[in-house]
Amino acid sequence: MLAKKEDSIEFKVLGTTEQRMRDMVSMRFESRLSAPTEDVWAWITSVKGISAEMWPFFRMTSPKSIRSLADIRIRPGVPMFRSYVFLFGFLPIDFSDMTLVEFNEGRGFVEQSPMGSMKLWRHERQIVPCPSDPGAILLVDQLTFRPRMAKHFVRWFIRCVFIHRHNVLKARLGGAQQDGDGVKNLEM
């Protein structure tokens, strides 16, 4: 950080890296699920599963030939397709050039897609063993994003969407009870 003095008034010039870090939002969501790992993987990589998680907040488009990530040749860092995002299913609000930067079959992926509304969107979704319950798994969503505008509103809205997504996951995939609403949200 640089401090300059001009006409007896001090002001700070924020470096671009520092400004970007201040604008960044990170959130983590965990749900304990009792379904087999294969079933969880099939759900989280299917258009049907993702659509059910997003509804009624969003509807996202995908090519008709794609039913799951299994239908796509994954090339890390290369956009798979453009998805249009509709708020409440009908109001066009955004687009996402769906891009996976990491893909670990059966365990997780990292989606880092260019979006119209975000300077950065990174969604890490992992299936990990549950340390407290060997018969369950944890589904972990780690989000890092930088909205182009309305940071506080966008943070609140994305948090609501992901709490909803995890509640849908628990309802469909045998969610185990946890404290509170059953979704562990660790906002950073």
From first to last of its 188 residues, what are the pLDDT tens digits of the chain? Answer: 444 444 444 444 445 666 666 789 999 999 999 999 999 999 999 999 999 999 999 999 999 999 999 999 999 999 999 999 999 999 999 999 999 999 999 999 999 999 999 999 999 999 999 999 999 999 999 999 999 999 999 999 999 999 999 999 999 999 865 544 445 566 65
Rounded distance between C-alpha atoms, residue 64 and residue 41, angstroms: 21
- pLDDT for 152: 95
Length of the chain in terms of residues written: 188
Alpha-helical runs (H) found in 32-150: 37-44, 47-54
Residues 6+ apart with CB under 8 A from 42: 49, 68
Residues 6+ apart with CB under 8 A from 52: 168, 172
Rounded distance between C-alpha atoms, residue 32 and residue 130, angstroms: 7
Residues 6+ apart with CB under 8 A from 158: 25, 27, 143, 145
Domains of the chain: 24-187 (3.30.530.20)
- pLDDT for 19: 60
Residues 6+ apart with CB under 8 A from 40: 33, 127, 137, 139, 173
- pLDDT for 22: 75
Q: Is 89 left (phi over 0), alpha (psi -120 to 50) or beta?
A: left
Q: Is 20 helix (H, G, I), strand (E, B) or coil?
A: helix
Q: Please name the amino acid found at residue 94.
A: D
Parallel, antiparallel or unpaired: strands 58-60 and 81-87: antiparallel
How many CB atoms sit inside 10 A of residue 115's CB? 18
Report residue 26 as tokens: 């990170």
